[in-house]
Amino acid sequence: MQAVKQIYTKCLAQGAYFISNGKEAVVIDPLREVEQYVELAKAKGVEIKYIFETHLHADFVSGHLTLSKKTGAPIVFGPGAKPEFDAHIAKDGEVFKVGDLRLKAIHTPGHTPESTCFLLLDASDTQHALFTGDTLFIGDVGRPDLAQENTGLTSRDLAGMLYDSLHQKIMPLDDHIIIYPAHGKGSACGKNMSSETSDTLKNQKAENYALSTTLSREEFIDKLTTDLEAPPMYFKDNVRLNTTGYMHVDRLLEKTQSKALSIEVFKEKLSDPDTVLLDVRHQDDFVKGYIPGAIFVGLNGKFAPWVGTLLKEVKTPILFISPAGREEETITRLARVGFDHVLGYLSGGMDTWKKHHEKEEKIDQISADQIKDTIREPKNKIVDVRKPSEYALQHLKESMPISLSTLSDQISKFDNKQQYFLHCGGGYRSVIAASILIKEGISNVIDIKGGFGAIAKQKELHFEFG
């Protein structure tokens, strides 16, 4: 049996899978740009026979339609899926042959009603791996509140279904099988998943709270539906695109060169109040000088999920500033979450802006060892923009928690009579937050360089937990 290849995309914390045997292969949960799977099949001398979707994804646009068009392979969904295009809807227990291997569909509703895992078996019926989608993560399970629209189901209903799926369908499988999930740490599809991207079922039974035999069904439901942050608004749009169809990413990328704009055209398009300007450079470059009104979301971090979370509407017209040579990458990564309305980018980037002596903004920064002096001033406020779960682990006693994902809805809490010192975990999200506040007219913001990672090393500060 040939090895399973996990193709992991850190920006989305997403795992796609390529499984081959003999002259045949399958792809599970492909990304929107599919050339990597086509090239892998060519390199291995195999034909892609099936494209499996573990569910209708909310956090990214799948490449199922494009890959099917390029290869002729049918798209396979689990029971209950209702895509608006040709697809094979598998029955629970249905088996698909790939060379001498077989993939068995196991319907595991809970994260979504149609969620389905695929069990990899060899010719002798030995179980080898389970591709769990968002049903079971390493250290966690999929949240049950992303697929309630038009289903008549509540999050508690789905959580109960997930408990049954785990205990009746997954836990009885052989302990030695490898669990391959669709996501790892950093995805919004779960609460606190591990940074590990695979594990044995045996280890997960011992370490994953969701597989505990001491947790009752009602306790599981309570635990799973408590303290859920609101899902990003773009999730609904991604489900719609994955259900109805989308423009093939090749067509978007064909236009990349034509999107290089002169400064005159760039400024004209920027004058439209509905247009959003993204600056995707590194935060260290952004703080030193950027175009007024720009929102920082750097390519070096979880770029696409943060764009989706902050801009909310996938039809938002976008201009961007990028490092030289990374324009196509920017368009591709926006397309992964359905943001296809890119108007263009400034040819030459910030160098062009500077050469024309256009106005720039800057963001002031201080080092973590300077915080002890700022805390003493009553007008100074420390704002922690990390997630609530991070804040609960440890935080500065004097800090005010406002997570980045909710910042735009809490602008009214800020006052220009105060001085705000922002921090996140490492310095990426706080610069995003600073750019948003300045765009909203809150000018007295200073970024704490290095974030909480640097702050926690300061011995003279006071910390709290919970």
Of 110, 126, 212, 125, the C-alpha closest to 159 is: 110
| Amino acid identity, position 73 | A
**Fold designation for 247-355:** Oxidized Rhodanese; domain 1 (3.40.250)
The answer to whether residues 26 and 52 touch, using CB atoms and an 8 Å cutoff, is yes
- 3-class secondary-structure state, position 456: coil
Per-residue pLDDT at 261: 97
The answer to whether residues 141 and 224 touch, using CB atoms and an 8 Å cutoff, is yes
Take residue 258 and report the two structure tokens written for it.
């034509």
**Fold designation for 364-464:** Oxidized Rhodanese; domain 1 (3.40.250)
* CATH among 3.40.50.620, 1.10.1240.10, 3.30.9.10, 3.60.15.10 for 4-235: 3.60.15.10
- 3-class secondary-structure state, position 378: coil
Take residue 405 and report the two structure tokens written for it.
């994902």
Helices (H), 85-183: 155-165
- 3-class secondary-structure state, position 215: coil
Q: In 10 A of CB 226, how many CB atoms?
A: 8
Of 405, 426, 418, 423, the C-alpha closest to 379 is: 418
Per-residue pLDDT at 148: 64
Write out residues in the chain with pLDDT < 70, as ranges. 1-2, 148-149
Per-residue pLDDT at 211: 96
| Amino acid identity, position 171 | M
Residues 6 or more apart in contact with residue 241 via CB below 8 angstroms = 61, 314, 338
The answer to whether residues 360 and 353 touch, using CB atoms and an 8 Å cutoff, is yes
Q: What is the pTM of this model?
A: 0.93
The answer to whether residues 83 and 77 touch, using CB atoms and an 8 Å cutoff, is yes
Beta bridge partners of 106: 117
Of 278, 230, 239, 242, the C-alpha closest to 75 is: 242
| Amino acid identity, position 317 | P
Q: In 10 A of CB 168, how many CB atoms?
A: 10
310: left (phi over 0), alpha (psi -120 to 50) or beta: alpha
Integer Rg of the chain from CA: 24
- 3-class secondary-structure state, position 417: coil
Per-residue pLDDT at 2: 55
Per-residue pLDDT at 151: 79
Per-residue pLDDT at 39: 98
Beta bridge partners of 19: 4, 26
Judging by DSSP bridges, how do beta strands 380-384 and 419-423 pair with one another? parallel
Indicate the domain borders of the chain.
4-235, 247-355, 364-464
Are domains 247-355 and 364-464 of this chain identical in fold? yes
Per-residue pLDDT at 191: 73
Structure-token match 């994953």, residue found: 208
